[in-house]
Amino acid sequence: MLRRCLDLLAPALVEPGAVVVDCTLGLGGHSEALLAAFPSARLVALDRDQEALRLSGERLAPFGDRATLVHAVYDELPEVLDRLGISRVQGVLFDLGVSSMQLDEADRGFAYAQDSPLDMRMDQTTGVGAAEVLNTYPPGEL
């Protein structure tokens, strides 16, 4: 899938100064490949998961200021671009679904292969966890 994404985005990203947005950064694999394949491209990457941003920030550090990571959800993209002073982008990538990080780490509360508290929040700094919803919301409000 990665190779196909790079091939599809290539015509838009070969020009100097091209901006590509990764709306679901996760651990940064697609973003790293984009930055490596298109050395004159700039990346703006969004994720609502602060731990994913931290880990992908380490991974993308070698690319310096070509990578801008933002704690946001993809429906905030217009506001993020406005804050960054970017009026046009040449490519946008969405890798939709639950990331392996949520499923693999029991303390994230998504794991089904091991016992752990049920949380299921992509951004654990906001809202309530799934266990609280299931244990406290009255029937009919779920």
Q: Is residue 53 part of a domain?
A: yes
For residue 142, name the pLDDT band (cuts at 50, 70, 90): low
pLDDT digits (tens, 9 = 90+) for 9-22: 999 999 999 999 99
Give the mean model confidence (pLDDT) for residues 101-107: 64
Angle between helices 29-37 and 50-60 (to 10 degrees): 30
For residues 12 and 58, membership in a common domain is answered with yes
Phi, psi of 29, rounded to the nearest 5 degrees: -65, -50
Whether residues 108 and 42 fall in one domain = no
Task: Please name the residue that has the structure tokens 């509360």.
Answer: 109
Q: Do 76 and 111 share a domain, yes or no?
A: no
Does 142 reside within a domain? no
**68 and 129 fall within a common domain:** no
Q: Are β-strands 42-47 and 67-71 bridged in parallel, bridged antiparallel, or unpaired?
A: parallel
Q: Provide the residue range defining the domain that includes 129.
A: 100-133
| Cβ within 8 Å of residue 44, ≥6 positions away | 19, 20, 21, 22, 68, 70, 80, 81, 84, 86, 89
pLDDT of residue 3: 94
Q: What is the mean pLDDT of the chain?
A: 87
Question: What pLDDT does 126 receive?
Answer: 76
pLDDT of residue 130: 75
Helices (H), ranges, the chain? 2-13, 29-37, 50-60, 77-84, 100-104, 130-136
Q: pTM of the predicted model, to two decimals?
A: 0.74
Look at the chain and report how many structural domains it folds into: 2
Band (pLDDT 50/70/90 cuts) for residue 76 is: very high
